[in-house]
Structure 1
Amino acid sequence: MTNDVRDDINEMCLSELNKHALKFMQREVGIINIGPANHTASAQAEFSLKQILPVLLAVASGMFLVILDSTIMNVAIPKLVSAFQTNLSTIQWVITSYTLSLSAVIPLAGWFSDRFSSKRMFMTSIVLFVIASMLCALAQTPEQLILFRILQGLGGGMIAPIGIATVFSVSPPDKRGSVMGILGIPMLLAPILGPVLSGWLIEFMNWHWIFVLNVPVGFVALLLAWRYLPLAKPRHNSKLDVIGALLAPISAVALVFGVHQAGEKGWSDVWTLGSILFGTLVLAVFIRHELRQKYPLLELRVFRSPAFVHGIIVAWLNQIALFGSILLFPLYLQQVKGFSPLEAGLYVIPQAVLSTIGINLGGKMFDRYGVRPVAIIGILSLSGSLLALTQVTAHSSPFYIMCSFAFAGLGQGLTMMQINTHVLKSAPKELVSRVTPITTSAQQIMSSFGVTITMAYLAGRIRELPIDHSLDQLGHAFGSTFWITLGFAIAALLLSLFFAKRTESNTSTYFQIQSK
């Protein structure tokens, strides 16, 4: 950080809140105690978004890069199947491998930040992500593309936990819902731009450009991070849980592969049963190992909090339903309705627009009423959308399709950031520093499960169709697949009814979070 930037920040930090926000930034990613409780009200009254806008902008740009690459792939799946002359089940791993590699590196974010400083790791992640994107553009086989997508995930996995912890830390307790909602706006712009850009590039250029696009976007994110994120001295006293770092991704990959094989060959298949049993065994060993460590990779003791467990289960079910269904949207439009990639991208714009509206409304409702009404309304909107999509056919009207997609987006905007914020607030005070890696990595794993379950089921239904099947039969296969995601959404809706009417923060001032 240059001297001019430090001077600008110091000039903004005249209030008590700003002084402590600056103190946070000097200590990198972590939330510190801002002092006696009697100063909290006045500090919150003086809070202004301008005080944290530079950090918010830098974090949002990095997260936008990672999320854009996820959404830009959805429209490209049919084109990749054709370009590589392979099948949907194989190309599905282009998305699944990316999310799994993200989840594998997320728990390491705290240790790497301590060892090398969060600013260096944030910028290094962006550089690795851009390099891997160029390799993806040069891929000649599906196997190469999957490998390079894994490298992409490893490069970008630490951006989200560092960014979320940073923004959460500088937000007053009664403004966290709104500020996290602001952070979510760029995250929801990616679903708007991603499919449209992907459709345009595929239709008028070629699929390689969906990865080349990451280069200029990554350069902007890197410049903002270098300009606005503070550089603090690394802390070398933390220890890396090497065994935990190996066991966690092995168990996740084995379980996801088992679910994928179940869709391909059935639950009685040897590889299916073997993968699921092996993944479950490794997961059990990982949990036992983590609970016995002084410096665990993930602090699993946080699951002793009933409120935390309740909240994170609702979040998981909601994520499986949401991400499992979002990938189906462009596939249905292109394979059943016969739309071009660009037309498919334009059709999902209403979904992203209502997501943006929902996240703004959801943040304000969360601050005023707590998580319960926001979660119920949001998941109910998603459930209604998925119920409507179970009835889609090859002859469904454009208005019907766009409205169904849009209300799924509204549910996404109302629930994603708000339920995650509730989970952070419901964690025990002494363990909250370890919550962000758990929730972020679990979100990626659940997204992988959602994609794997729906794609495997859809592939199975398509294989059951006759070779000369009609578009009506293909549309019915998509409609029946939406029943799977609807089931998860209904389960999340039922559990959301048991949220407390008002969520109280687990501390009277700021959370005391430090990345360790």
Structure 2
Amino acid sequence: MNTQAKTVPTTQQQIKTGPIMAALLVAGFVGLFSETALNIAFTELSKIFSADPTTIQWLATGYFLTLGILIPVTGILMQKFTTRQMFMTAILLALIGAILAAVAPTFSVLLVARIIQAAGLAITLPLTQNVIFTIFPPNKRGGAMGLMGLVMLAGPALGPTVAGLILDTLTWHWIFWVTVPFLLFSLIFGQIYLTNVNEVRKVSIDTLSVILSTIAFGGIVYGFSVSGVHGWTSATVLGTIIIGLIALILFAIRQRKMETLTMNLRAFKTPLFVLGVIMSFITFFNMMSMLVILPMYMQMALLMAAFTTGLILLPGSLLNCILAPSIGKLFDKYGPKAVITPGTILVAIGYVLYSQFSTETDIWMIVVTHIVMMLGIGAVLASVQTNTLNSLPKRYYPDGIAITQTIQQVAGAIGIAVLVSVFSAKQGSYLATTANDLPQAAAVGSSLVFTIGLILAVINVVLSFFLKKPQH
């Protein structure tokens, strides 16, 4: 890149890492909480807005789609705008989205509000990682990323539980109102403490690259997201996925010829980065689908209420929150393999137990298995991300973050779509060939999904043996 870099002057002493992390992580938690919290209210919202399930599902699909489209371009935006400009934009989008959603009189207004919320999160997630990798030295990044891992797990996991409690006592509007004080906290702390820690360059944004990126990631996420509605053989699903893949290839070709890159794909020349990206994809594919399938199993096979389901899954989520900072410090002290390999083994053990679940499984068994699973994911999630980005030269951090965050969101969307389809297909085939036993059909469907998860988890165990600490 021939452009002259202008570094924002700041010293390590001027940076108050605690308040900065508080502002960023609270904003990230709210965004990830909002990603899953509304899902539990879909049935109620269907009746309120007189919308069919396919239409209501857009409140989730639209959120994923916005993340998939916007995160890829954050790499270049973080080079063009200051840390404070990016952060304030993200928080204001999240606040506007939350307030607009809380007062939404129609479904279309609620959908627009969800897209605005997601736009805020699409900036917050990569920005948080970029700030961590800028203000913390390599030997302290594990602890900081451990805290981010806590947020990335706790937000989606606590969403349905808290939303269930809100729906039992208040109205659905409060799912959004409850986030406003937290966002105001982030706004105030960010305004006071967040300094410009990134290098601002005079970079031009290539419009064609942005369009190709939007079509690529938007098409892939949209195609997989609506597959459960239209079916895998429909022209809509196949067409958008194929168009997305073609656009992705054209985007990659264009990046090789550009001087100012929208997303620097040279990061893929680093073997440790590629290994980390594959492990991240598998982890998010499994985690996001597990957070959907497990509650479905509990509600359909064990006939539990939504709020009860959330309470049973709470111990695993809370324990992970408590231990996440310690896991990060272990990563800093002993290196990647000492933390990630045991984590992948715990995830595999969790899937072995999940795959044995039936209509007779005891509640204590679900609680224990979920604790094992969440501990494993907690050890893998942030540590893999930290090691993946540590493997890159500093100038590639914004691009590496944009790549890994995009892949995680795409993996989550694909994981949910593919494994919910597998669950439904297995459940349907069971009901077609045996007695009309819906709980047993749900148990059989979830068992197949968890077996697929186990296969992927074992692949991650094997890949973890090839990890090492970057030398630069």
**TM-score band, normalised by the shorter chain?**
0.7 to 0.9
1:390 aligns to what?
355
Task: Note closer, same or farther for the CA distance 1:208–1:487 as it changes in structure 2 (3 Å cut).
Answer: farther
**Cα deviation 1:70-123 (Å, max 9, x = unaligned):** 242454455556666767665544333312312322233354455553213212
User: CA–CA distance in 2 between the matches of 1:233 and 1:316?
Assistant: 27
1:307 aligns with 2:258: no
1:504 aligns with 2:463: no
> Quick one: which amino acid aligns to residue 474 of structure 1?
A
2:135 aligns to what?
170
Matches within 5 A, 1:302-451: 302-451=267-416
User: CA–CA distance in 2 between the matches of 1:79 and 1:398?
Assistant: 27
2:3 aligns to what?
none
User: CA–CA distance in 2 between the matches of 1:460 and 1:400?
Assistant: 26
User: CA–CA distance in 2 between the matches of 1:292 and 1:482?
Assistant: 43
SS at 2:205 equivalent: coil
| Percent of aligned pairs sharing the same letter | 27
Tell me how far 1:166 sits from its aligned partner: 1.0
User: CA–CA distance in 1 between the matches of 2:122 and 2:260?
Assistant: 21
Tell me how far 1:156 sits from its aligned partner: 2.3
**Residue in structure 2 matching 1:64, options 20, 29, 32:** 29
Provide structure 2 residue ranges, at least 5 long, that are not aligned to the other structure: 1-8
1:7 aligns to what?
none
> Quick one: which amino acid aligns to residue 441 of structure 2?
Q
Tell me how far 1:190 sits from its aligned partner: 3.1
User: CA–CA distance in 1 between the matches of 2:47 and 2:178?
Assistant: 21
Q: With structure 1 as the length reference, what TM-score do the two structures score?
A: 0.80
**Residue in structure 2 matching 1:250, options 192, 210, 215:** 215
Matches within 5 A, 1:36-75: 51-75=16-40
> Quick one: which amino acid aligns to residue 238 of structure 1?
V
**Residue in structure 2 matching 1:480, options 443, 448, 458:** 448
Tell me how far 1:161 sits from its aligned partner: 1.3
Task: Note closer, same or farther for the CA distance 1:196–1:486 as it changes in structure 2 (3 Å cut).
Answer: same
Contact 1:392 1:479 in 2 (8 A): yes
SS at 1:132 equivalent: helix
Tell me how far 1:455 sits from its aligned partner: 2.4
User: CA–CA distance in 2 between the matches of 1:241 and 1:21?
Assistant: 34
Q: With structure 2 as the length reference, what TM-score do the two structures score?
A: 0.87
User: CA–CA distance in 2 between the matches of 1:75 and 1:410?
Assistant: 25
1:21 aligns with 2:12: yes
1:210 aligns to what?
175
Task: Note closer, same or farther for the CA distance 1:391–1:162 as it changes in structure 2 (3 Å cut).
Answer: same
Task: Note closer, same or farther for the CA distance 1:204–1:284 as it changes in structure 2 (3 Å cut).
Answer: same
2:6 aligns to what?
none
Tell me how far 1:226 sits from its aligned partner: 1.4
After the TM superposition, which of the residue ranges 82-91 and 101-110 deviates more from structure 2?
82-91
Matches within 5 A, 1:231-270: 235=200, 237-260=202-225, 263=228, 267-270=232-235
Contact 2:88 2:187 in 1 (8 A): yes
Tell me how far 1:237 sits from its aligned partner: 1.6
1:4 aligns to what?
none
User: CA–CA distance in 1 between the matches of 2:43 and 2:368?
Assistant: 23
**Cα deviation 1:235-269 (Å, max 9, x = unaligned):** 57221122222212311232234335655565544
1:490 aligns with 2:455: no
> Quick one: which amino acid aligns to residue 470 of structure 2?
E
2:5 aligns to what?
none
Contact 1:319 1:447 in 2 (8 A): yes
Aligned length: 461
Contact 2:358 2:444 in 1 (8 A): yes
Contact 1:251 1:280 in 2 (8 A): yes
**Cα deviation 1:25-69 (Å, max 9, x = unaligned):** 6xxxxxxxxxxxxxxxxxxxxxxxxx5212122222221221221
**Cα deviation 1:442-484 (Å, max 9, x = unaligned):** 2222111122222233333444436954322223222222233
RMSD: 3.0
> Quick one: which amino acid aligns to residue 453 of structure 2?
T
User: CA–CA distance in 2 between the matches of 1:81 and 1:336?
Assistant: 24
